[in-house]
Structure 1
Amino acid sequence: MQNKKIPLLLIATLVCGMTACQPPSADTDSTTSTDNTESSDTTSLTEAKTPRAMTSAIVELSEYSLREKLICSKLDDAISAVGNKSEIKDVTTVQHQISACLPAADNSQILQWLTDYQSMYDRFLQTTSSTDNAAFYTLMRTIERDESITVAQLKQVSPRVRYLVGLIRGKADISVRYLGGGDYEFHHNLIAMAELFSPYLPDDQSEFIERMAHDNQEIFWFDAAIAFAFEELVERTLFWEDFMKRHPHSIFYDDASDLFDTYRYLLFFGSDNTQWTDEEVRSFYNSNNERLMQRLSIRPNSQLAKDVQTFLDFMEQPDAERHKQYPTPDTDEQGHKINESNAAHYQLSKALAIPSPWASASDGTSRTTSDKNKDCMSGIVCVDKNTTTQTSQATAPQTTAQNINQ
């Protein structure tokens, strides 16, 4: 019996040394001391004053630690188990597990859980039925307009769609987004997702996912058009350029660089249904956009400012000078004919030398500017497009200059 008491006394001594605990004063009544001992059985380890209280605290602490370790060891399995047949209670259970495990997890584990959690939610919102039929479209449009849903409408769609619609009506963090072209999708609250992980990440990583959540909460493309204003496109481009300056060693630096390249490319070339200048790249359709670009061109220590200045100089170049400096072949690298309507964009692509984020690599595969086939326009972290379950935002429309550069 004596040997079993030694470890407990040793632990008590160490804890007292760390917490500066003091023995009862000499004038403390023995009866009062006994009462305090009995009432302190459930006290915390740092507050334990007696061997009995210390034993109780250690047991409770061990049970708590063991419980937490068991929960966290099963978290990966719990996330993987959630799919498009799961219920919202399964998602809530995972959320509770993540909340319990994040405080003690290391950075690599947190980032892995973040990525897996994002993929989990994408799986959860998938529907097995076709989403292009008239009944689905009518129901989604009704929800989007916040109109009353009829029983007849619900009967015409799959049980999974009905279940997700029920979650929306129950005010869950799920909504319906219209993507254009008669296409809808179920979507989750990215800002709430970022808020779950952000407190446990370094400043640069927290800033990254919070910005991604803000930008990707709404759609990026709409019927081959950029779904937000020119001013916002400029602001996003500036943000990612500044992010790289502030956090040159961030684990998300390459993703930030891809985003910067994507946004600045669109800033100059637009998309099929979004053009900022006329076909000859001589004048802006919106004078406010021109004034904004003029201000950008004098921004100090900025690659974007240099690109803008090159762009503005190109707009002023006479045709003869353009043709001399940037000779235009009859066809581009892919054999597509270059005509008058796209000759200026071809020349501009040579002047700026900004690779299209959707250009083809030498082996013919799609790539981004850093040769990473990633989707950064859907969630709070960039993911490999080959493993992305939602493709509506991952695939960009072909821009005029993109067709030329491919």
Structure 2
Amino acid sequence: MVKFLRASKLALLLGSCLYLLACQNSDTPPVAEPPKVQASASEPVDLTQICENIQHNMQQIDNTRTTFALEQINQDLKVCLPLLPLNEQLNLLNLSTQMYQRFLHVERSAAEQAAFDQHAFDMAQHPTIQQSHFENFALRDQYLLKHKGQAYLELYDAGEAQLVYRRSPQYLAIIFAPYMPDAEQIFIERMANDNMQHSLRDGGLTLDAADLTERALFWEDYVQRYPKSHFIRDARYLAEVYALLLFKGTVNSPVSQDYVDEYSIQPAVLFEIKKLAKLQKSPLAQQARKFLAFLHMSSEQRLTEIAAQPTAREQREYGDDALVHAQLHQYLNLKNISIHAKRDCFSDAVCITR
């Protein structure tokens, strides 16, 4: 009996020690908690679900949604874009443009439109003016004006006393460009930088001759360097537009009226063209050399060497000087392109069809 009690006490003592040891071990934090391991293992599944749903979620954004919804989409895009091939990235880029267009669309009554137009006029005259008659704006205008600066929303002065909402050009440069191949990344980042400010305003140029030359050379080089870029068509258009603006300007900001000689050219433009003419292996430089040669031609030489007839548009815009403009256009092989076409390349980081 005594032996049994001793054995029982020994068993109890051993059990107590094991219990205390177990308690002590349970208080020691593990190196890696199982829940964390499981969460990490499930993360790819969550990412897959987010990326599978993102197109649907983007298509649900309209002008009844909030900036919070946009910001959530943009966070999801940052997660998904690095995982996708270029064609799927470009599809999401197009969807993002459509998403913002829907989000920024405002339905206004005649009275609400008048109030907004008055606000645009006041802002054009006094950019720091406070919003007047805010309660007369459409409810969506009130919301967007309160939240501009969020989710890449901007109120943009489009000229001629027109205020419009737009997605900041920096949106694509920040959200999309870092995850794209070099050609597409460079295109978007350059456009975002150039289009933060106006290039054209109220029919006139806001760029000086040096800026025009630099941009024309950049896009010429881009076309040669990245012929397979998804944006190659728009890059060619931009190279042609900036060449046209450099050598001819616009109707409201002409390089010259009659191109009689060097003294008829804006001095800053002539200076840049002479610098440009010294470059080698550049189609734009060849045009610059021909431009200078054109200025030294007499009227008779031009008639003999250049068979050109002014278009109806040139006659309308330049009147008695329409012929010389047509001759210059043909001699330099400038493209007949419209700067104010339905495809806008001057307000976002990609060209957008309106």
Same-fold call, TM cutoff 0.5: yes
Q: State the Cα distance separating 1:62 from its structure 2 match.
A: 4.4
Amino acid at match of 1:203: D
Q: CA deviation at 1:114?
A: 1.9
Which of 200, 218, 228 lines up with 1:239 in the alignment? 218
The size of the alignment, in residue pairs, is: 327
Q: Mean alpha-carbon deviation: is it higher for 174-183 or for 141-150?
A: 141-150
Quote the Cα distance in structure 2 between the aligned partners of 1:111 and 1:301. Answer: 33
**8 Å Cα contact 2:314/2:325 also seen in 1:** no
Indicate conservation of the 8 Å contact 1:216/1:378, yes or no. Answer: yes
Q: Pick from 19, 26, 47: which aligns with 1:68? A: 47
Who is 2:159 aligned against? 180
Distance of aligned partners of 1:321 and 1:120 in 2 relative to their CA distance in 1, 3 Å threshold: same
Q: 1:268 is aligned with what amino acid?
A: F
Q: Which residue of 2 aligns with 1:146?
A: 128
Structure 1 residues 335 and 254 mapped into 2: Cα distance closer, same or farther (>3 Å)?
Answer: closer
Output the CA distance in 1 between the equivalents of 2:180 and 2:260: 44
1:228 aligns with one of 189, 193, 207? 207
Contact 1:298 1:305 in 2 (8 A): yes
Give matches, 1:312-351, under 5 Å: 312-329=292-309, 332=311, 340-351=320-331
* Matches for 1:88-107 after TM superposition, within 5 Å: 88-107=67-86
Question: Which structure dedicates a bigger proportion of its chain to helix?
Answer: 2
TM-score of the aligned structures, taking structure 2 as reference length? 0.81
Could you report, residue by residue, the CA deviation over 1:286-308 in whole angstroms, capped at 9, with x for unpaired residues? 31221111010111110000011
Contact 1:140–1:176 under 8 Å retained in 2: no
Indicate how the Cα distance of structure 1 residues 346 and 315 shifts in structure 2: closer, same or farther if over 3 A, else same: same
CA distance in 2, matches of 1:336, 1:69: 60
In the alignment, which residue of structure 2 is the partner of 1:80?
A: 59
After TM superposition, the score normalised by the length of structure 1 is: 0.72
The corresponding residue for 1:277 is 256
Equivalent-residue separation in structure 2 for 1:206 and 1:252 (angstroms): 10
Correspondence 1:164 to 2:141: no
2-structure distance, mates of 1:202, 1:327 = 45
CA distance in 1 between partners of 2:36 and 2:151 (Å): 42
Which one of 103, 115, 134 corresponds to residue 124 of structure 1? Answer: 103
> For the residues of structure 1 that align with 2:95 and 2:258, how far apart are their CA atoms?
44
Tell me the alpha carbon deviations over residues 303-346 of structure 1, each in whole angstroms, 9 at most, x when there is no partner: 000011111111111001111122455x6478968952211001
Which position in structure 2 is the counterpart of 1:401?
Answer: none
* Displacement of 1:142: 5.1
Corresponding residue for residue 304 of structure 1: 284
1:255 corresponds to which residue?
Answer: 234
Larger Rg: 2
Identify unmatched segments of 5+ residues in structure 1.
1-30, 43-52, 360-365, 368-372, 389-406
2:349 counterpart residue number: 380
Distance 1:343 1:326 in 2: 11
What displacement does 1:240 show?
A: 0.7
Structure 2 CA distance for partners of 1:288 and 1:104, relative to 1, 3 Å:
same
Aligned partners of 2:213 and 2:109: how far apart in 1?
Answer: 37
CA drift of 1:124 comes to 1.7
What CA distance in whole angstroms lies between the structure 1 residues aligned with 2:41 and 2:87?
26
2:275 pairs, out of 295, 318, 339, with 295
Q: CA offset at residue 220 of structure 1?
A: 3.4
For residues 365-376 of structure 1, the aligned pairs below 5 Å read 374-376=343-345
Question: Which structure 2 segments of 5+ residues have no match?
Answer: 1-21
Residue 211 of structure 1, CA deviation = 0.5
Aligned residue for 1:74, secondary structure, equals helix
Shift of 1:378: 2.8
Q: What residue number does 1:212 align with?
A: 191
Contact conserved, 1:84 with 1:124, CA < 8 A, in 2?
A: yes
Q: Please tell me whether the aligned partners of residues 118 and 379 of structure 1 are also in contact (alpha carbons under 8 angstroms).
A: no
Query: Identity across aligned pairs (percent)?
Result: 24
Paired with 1:335 and 1:101, the residues of 2 have a C-alpha distance of: 50
CA distance in 1, matches of 2:138, 2:313: 44
Sort the Cα spacing of 1:66 and 1:35 in 2 relative to 1 into closer, same or farther, 3 A: same
Aligned partner of 1:39 in structure 2 is 30
Cα distance in 2 between the residues matched to 1:335 and 1:245: 31
1:376 and 1:216 map into 2 onto residues whose CA distance is 8
Q: Secondary structure at the match of 2:291?
A: helix
Structure 1 CA distance for aligned equivalents of residues 134 and 200 of structure 2: 29
- 1:61-106 CA-to-partner distances (Å, cap 9, x unmatched) read 4421221111111111111121222211111111111122122122
Secondary structure of 1:39's partner? coil
Q: Structure 1 CA distance, aligned partners of 2:109 and 2:284? A: 43
Taking structure 1 as reference, are residues 194 and 288 closer, same or farther at Cα in structure 2, changes over 3 Å only? same
Task: Write the letter of the residue equivalent to 1:380.
Answer: A
User: Retained in 1: the 8 A contact 2:168–2:348?
Assistant: no
1:139, 1:154 within 8 Å by CA — same for their partners in 2? no
SS at match of 1:137: helix
SS at match of 1:291: helix
